[in-house]
Amino acid sequence: MSNKGAKNLFIYGSLFFFVILVLLTIDTMDQIDRKAPEITASVDAGKMVWHKYDCIGCHTILGNGSYFAPDMTKTAENKPKGYLKKFLMDPKAVNPGASMPKLGITSEEADNLIAFLEWIAKVDTNGWPPKPILAAAAGSGGKELSAGQRVYQSLGCSNCHIINGIGGTSGPDISRVGSKRDREWLFGHFKKPEAYVPNSAMPAVSASDADIEQLTDYMLSLK
Amino acid sequence: MKYQSQKLAQHFYTFAVVLFLVQVLVGVIAAAQFIWPDFFILNFNTIRTLHINALVVWLLVGLMGATYYVVPEESQSELWNLPLAKLQFWATVIATSAVIVGYIIQGLFPQANTLIFGTLALNEGREYIEAPRWADWLIAISVILFLIINFMTMFKSKKWTGIQGTLLAGLTFLALMYLPGMVYMKSMVKDQYWWWWVVHLWVEGAWEVIAGALLAFMLMKVTNAKREVLEKWMYLEVGLVLFTGILGTGHHYYWIGTPGYWLWIGGIFSSLEPIPLLMMVWDAFRTTREHRVVSNKLGLFYATAHAIFNFVGAGLWGVIHTLPQVNKWTHGTQLTTAHGHLAFYGAYVLLVMAMIYITLPLIRGAANFDTSRGYRSFWWLTISMVFIVLTITGAGMVQTYMERLMGLDYVAVKANYNLWFWIFRGIFGLGFLYGTWLFVLDFFKLGKEQAKA
């Protein structure tokens, strides 16, 4: 191939692929809004709060960002709203082990940010993040779950609490909670957390008394 | 060096190496914050913003300096309007410094980052392009001035070579691809879509084109290889870079709320991205083998190392997790950090260093400079970086397995299971800092101390 041929191949070939990228971009722009819920004024304001505090300087969102702190794509799905609001405004007051500093996020900003996180959690991301294989398989390995364990799973308690290594770090590790608390405390706490732990960020458990009894039994077995 | 205006490159190099040292210093602080989050007065987000912005700016400034050296040489004339070029240099220094001060203020007082005319005043909160809108315009003006000066030099002399044409094509593409980052998008999905146009089409498009052109220039300069041969290889390399890289952008569009066809397009094209990088390695070795007379051994050493680590870091470390079937599990983990570190080091840090070691001795009139510190710096930097990348890769594998497959919490994996990786990364970070220090010292002393016999 002559130098001129190589040069023309470079120029026209690159232009060809760039035109394809532009065409695909036009189509993608058309489809993006259909793969996500409507953007309300609150969602838009929340996105600006996300930018203002440079959240991406530590977190990732849609998997892109700084890899220093958890990904925020599904946070609104996994954590109670009341917890999120308290955490955003003063992280260490809610979770003493948290690395996140108190940034001065106001109550209104926190509400908008949560609206934004609720929006992003509903974006159709082609199935990302995938459900963890081994956690999804837990309990289906031939061992029957107890009634309390089933309540624990159905309420999504493990989004915030750890039992035997599995679960979230937003709330305390409850692997041995049965040796620390009695039945009365646990039952009452599930009904009204802030009456037992001042300024608790945990939401009251919304389930029947029978289910809460079974959940309490399960907690008492954790020793 | 034949033309007085080529000396201007030195200004840019000086600013670049100072920012390099700043980048690595804050990098070491960031590494420590992985172990102790409250280690420093500035939070991790600010340190990280400084780390990546200093990186991008010093590489850009270094490439600008290199261009101001290459264009007069290739055009065989002095630069058009040297005073304007000097103004462009100082404007860049002032704008960059103002942006850095802004980041630090935002870090100390987040409330100061208020909206002015609908954009944030100090930090846009968008990775890599955190610079606020007013600074975007200053940067754009500086880059446009830079392009005008170089194009005018070429027009006036009417000497067009393939190397400088490709170099300036890459730089123009770079300037144009800054623009998609300057539009506010209400949708975070669209925000990230256009953001990748900037980030990906820079580092896996425009910058690689620049790298291809500079590699050809360097090989010609130090081995006296034939221009015709080098330019033909260059066209094929940068052509393949863009044929694979432009649609390879799709590997960032798997999971961000974009249509499913990107899984196919991104998977196929980005898997081919290492091919042109491998060609560059072959090109460097072939040229070296065929031309035994080397005028600057250290320069050729760095240029070849750049080609190799460009392939390993940008090519191999990228391709291992570029297929959607794999990326579904690894996306957003430390594996990306590992790839980012080795890719930037190999593709661009070593490139700018190679250009400095090839052109600076000629600018300072010290062709027989003492190369011992340059080699020592290379080994400190490269061995440290390889181990930094291996520790982060290990952390990424543990994270992928424990968090993504087993379902353990992000914080638990980071704080407990990956702790040793962070400790070793910090130690090798100090090694890298020492290597950087050696290089900066060598930069300032080169040609000014007696060469050892």
Q: Inter-chain contact B123–A54, Cβ cutoff 8 Å?
A: yes
Chain B stretch 269-298, residues whose beta carbon is closer than 8 A to a beta carbon of chain A: none
Task: Please report which confidence band the pLDDT of residue A144 belongs to, taking 50, 70 and 90 as the band edges.
Answer: confident
Q: What is the pLDDT averaged over residues A84-99? A: 93
Best of A29, A43, A51 to substitute, by most chain B Cβ atoms within 10 angstroms, is A51
The predicted-structure confidence for A20-30, as pLDDT tens digits, reads as follows: 999 999 999 99
* Min Cα separation B359/chain A (Å): 27
Whether B58 is covered by a domain: the verdict is yes
Strand partners of residue A99: none
Q: Which tokens sit at A67?
A: 């890899």
Q: Which positions in chain A touch B332 (Cβ < 8 Å)?
A: 60, 63-65, 67, 71, 129
Task: Please report which confidence band the pLDDT of residue B148 belongs to, taking 50, 70 and 90 as the band edges.
Answer: very high
Q: What pLDDT shows up at residue A198?
A: 87
Parallel, antiparallel, or unpaired for β A162-163 and A60-61? unpaired
Q: Inter-chain contact B246–A14, Cβ cutoff 8 Å?
A: yes
- Residue in A closest to B33 by C-alpha: A68
Q: Which positions in chain B touch A31 (Cβ < 8 Å)?
A: 258-259
CB hemisphere CA count around B113 (13 angstroms): 32
Whether B367 is covered by a domain: the verdict is no
Whether B402 is covered by a domain: the verdict is no
Q: How far apart are CA A212 and CA A27, in angstroms?
A: 50
Least confident of A113-127, A141-155, B122-136, B330-344: A141-155
| Contacts for A74 with CB less than 8 Å, ≥ 6 apart | A121, A129
Question: Position of tokens 């950087």?
Answer: B436
* Min Cα separation A25/chain B (Å): 9
Whether B386 is covered by a domain: the verdict is no
* Closest partner CB to B235 (pick from A6, A24, A61): A6
* Min Cα separation A120/chain B (Å): 8
Task: Please report which confidence band the pLDDT of residue B69 belongs to, taking 50, 70 and 90 as the band edges.
Answer: very high
Q: Which positions in chain A touch B238 (Cβ < 8 Å)?
A: 10
Whether B328 is covered by a domain: the verdict is no
Nearest to B135 by CA among B151, B108, B116: B116
Instruction: Look at chain B and report how many structural domains it folds into.
Output: 1
- Residue in A closest to B392 by C-alpha: A67
Whether B2 is covered by a domain: the verdict is yes
Judge whether residue B451 has pLDDT over 70: no
Q: Inter-chain contact B235–A31, Cβ cutoff 8 Å?
A: no
Following DSSP, what letter does each residue of B373-438 receive, concatenated?
HHHHHHHHHHHHHHHHHHHHHHHHHHHIIIIIIS---HHHIIIIITHHHHHHHHHHHHHHHHHHHH
Task: Please report which confidence band the pLDDT of residue A132 belongs to, taking 50, 70 and 90 as the band edges.
Answer: confident
Judge whether residue B289 has pLDDT over 60: yes
Q: Inter-chain contact A169–B409, Cβ cutoff 8 Å?
A: yes
Q: Inter-chain contact B186–A44, Cβ cutoff 8 Å?
A: yes
Query: What is the percent of chain B with per-residue pLDDT over 90, rounded to a whole number?
Result: 94
Give chain B's end-to-end CA distance (angstroms, integer): 24
Q: Inter-chain contact A104–B331, Cβ cutoff 8 Å?
A: no
Q: What is the pLDDT averaged over residues A39-55? A: 97
The predicted-structure confidence for B370-391, as pLDDT tens digits, reads as follows: 999 999 999 999 999 999 999 9
Residue B144's domain comprises 1-160
Judge whether residue A143 has pLDDT over 80: no
Q: Is B428 part of the contact surface with chain A (CB cutoff 8 Å)? A: no
Query: What is the percent of chain A with per-residue pLDDT over 70, rounded to a whole number?
Result: 96
Judge whether residue B453 has pLDDT over 60: no
Judge whether residue A179 has pLDDT over 60: yes
Q: Inter-chain contact A62–B333, Cβ cutoff 8 Å?
A: no
Higher pLDDT pick, A141 / A55:
A55
* Closest partner CB to B187 (pick from A36, A63, A133): A36
Q: DSSP 3-state assignment of A161?
A: coil
Whether B347 is covered by a domain: the verdict is no
Q: Is B255 part of the contact surface with chain A (CB cutoff 8 Å)? A: yes
* Closest partner CB to B125 (pick from A6, A52, A134): A52
- Read off φ and ψ for residue B130, nearest 5 degrees: -65, -25
DSSP state of A18: H
Chain B stretch 132-161, residues whose beta carbon is closer than 8 A to a beta carbon of chain A: none
Can you say whether the dihedral through the CA atoms of B298, B303, B304, B309 is positive or negative? positive
* Closest partner CB to A21 (pick from B48, B130, B247): B247
Whether B166 is covered by a domain: the verdict is no
Q: Is B330 part of the contact surface with chain A (CB cutoff 8 Å)? A: no
Q: What pLDDT shows up at residue A169?
A: 87
- Residue in B closest to A68 by C-alpha: B34
- Mean pLDDT computed over every residue of chain A: 92
The predicted-structure confidence for B94-122, as pLDDT tens digits, reads as follows: 999 999 999 999 999 999 999 998 899 99
DSSP state of A50: H
The predicted-structure confidence for A211-220, as pLDDT tens digits, reads as follows: 999 999 999 9
- Residue in A closest to B263 by C-alpha: A126
Kind and range of the H or E element at A19?
helix A3-32
Q: What pLDDT shows up at residue B426?
A: 97
